[in-house]
A and B are shown apart, each in its own frame.
Chain A
């Protein structure tokens, strides 16, 4: 994992505002189509923020006009099954799953196919009123391959997931909100800002508790209720080894504001 400076990235723009790390997809001529090169830079940048103690939460956006209109079809149209298997380009996406810090997605414009899947890999989603989501893979003879069939189903239930993936139709931010896929619909002009506001709030919470909470919540999808509760309990007990647990509870009793050390 390399730690590039902001100027060395070609397909993304990175910036920081206090404890929030912001990544903007930047392939304006291709509607931010998620090429392997872009994904490589994205994952590198996410991991760099994840490892940076000065960052508490991340925002991922495509900018004001579009989030990502899908994967780069040109680059895979002629591939054979063995090509796909051995290159295994989607394996890189797994590294996003391993990130400890939460990511807020800020979606304006299209989030289609891989773009929708990338959004759903994030932990929270703020979308502009005119954002359009969709999993149109069925229309090009394939299925969502970067988590769409799993994450969409978990988020919105079987009936809606079937309808959306089997018809490949687009759906609006409002629909996404009503289905439970996203957190909030904002005027498009304020989407990124709303995402930053949310990220800022989270970035100021004690970091160890934040990452532990994220881990516990994601575990809920993977295990039985028994297993999940046991896991949560162990994590809860584990936090009593953190300085911030001591500081947090002490401050509460002393009726003062806690000073987090993020340890």
Chain B
């Protein structure tokens, strides 16, 4: 789609690839890119032709997080109480909507981590449904080293991915982990030696999703999200509703027919 200056938005065969496109600064976020990403995700959600999303970065890095050049204590405090910045407002406006949308969009989102994922960039990778990384990729959230907390959902997302102990350790030290460690810890689903191999793996996975029963996939995501906040009985009740909905999809009929006729199902996503 036209209209994006800081990212690339390319749809092909049901797969949308969003490429953060500020390679000179390792795809760090400025205001414009954060709002464009929000817009792109909203567009992806609405577009029925998009059945899977790949999120990646142009050039050497995946995403370096907040561009510190576009944030200075002075800039932030110019409309505040004089000498105190308003980071909370910045997060609410720029990052929270991205994280929220990545988790709530009922389509699978694959982070193709082609290089360093730092700060909010790492959080965004955590918020995607799965991560495929190249060997050279690194995850680093050095917030603590500037007296801040890991934001953009990191403290919620990371413990759920790698467990409280390791997540807290990384948050408190601000240390980086490489792709190999991330893979061992289950933080990335798949690690490849080269960018080409990683891209191929992401494409292959995305193709499977794009040809899959999109509605069911969305409902699975909804179910797992909901399950994190409900007790078992409430979840079971919710699950029954979701299965009711899934059972009414065309893809269910097709799936069962294909199974009985011993052929490959042709899902339409409806």
Contacts and interface: CB of A to CB of B under 8 A. Distances in A.
A55 interface: no
A68 to B, nearest CB: 22
A190 B238 CA distance: 11
A189 B215 CA distance: 12
B195 interface: no
A186 B241 CA distance: 8
Contacts of A189: 245, 248
Interface residues of A, number: 4
A36 interface: no
B265 interface: no
A187 B222 CA distance: 10
B223 to A, nearest CB: 10
A53 B231 CA distance: 43
A130 to B, nearest CB: 10
A25 B255 CA distance: 35
A187 B225 CA distance: 14
B49 interface: no
Interface string B226-244: 0000000000001001101
Interface in A148-195: 186-187, 189-190
Please classify the interface of chain B as helix (H, G, I), strand (E, B), loop, or mixed, using the class held by over half of its residues.
Answer: helix
Nearest to B104: A130
Contacts of A186: 241
Contacts of B241: 186-187, 190
Contacts of A190: 241, 244-245
A189 B222 CA distance: 13
Interface in B117-151: none
A186 B245 CA distance: 12
A190 B244 CA distance: 9
A189 B242 CA distance: 9
A187 B237 CA distance: 11
Nearest to B244: A190
Contacts of B222: 187
B154 to A, nearest CB: 25
A190 B248 CA distance: 11
Interface in B204-260: 222, 238, 241-242, 244-245, 248
B222 to A, nearest CB: 8
Identify the interface centre among B222, B245, B248: most chain A CB within 10 Å of its CB.
B245
A190 B245 CA distance: 8
Contacts of B242: 187
B82 to A, nearest CB: 27
Nearest to B246: A189
B107 to A, nearest CB: 16
A186 B242 CA distance: 10
A173 to B, nearest CB: 14
A187 B241 CA distance: 7
A119 B244 CA distance: 26
A246 B245 CA distance: 42
A189 B244 CA distance: 10
Interface in B44-84: none
B177 to A, nearest CB: 36
A39 B128 CA distance: 46
Interface of A: 186-187, 189-190
7 contacts: A186-B241, A187-B241, A187-B242, A189-B245, A189-B248, A190-B241, A190-B245
Given A187-B222, A187-B238, A189-B245, 8 more contacts: A186-B241, A187-B241, A187-B242, A187-B245, A189-B248, A190-B241, A190-B244, A190-B245
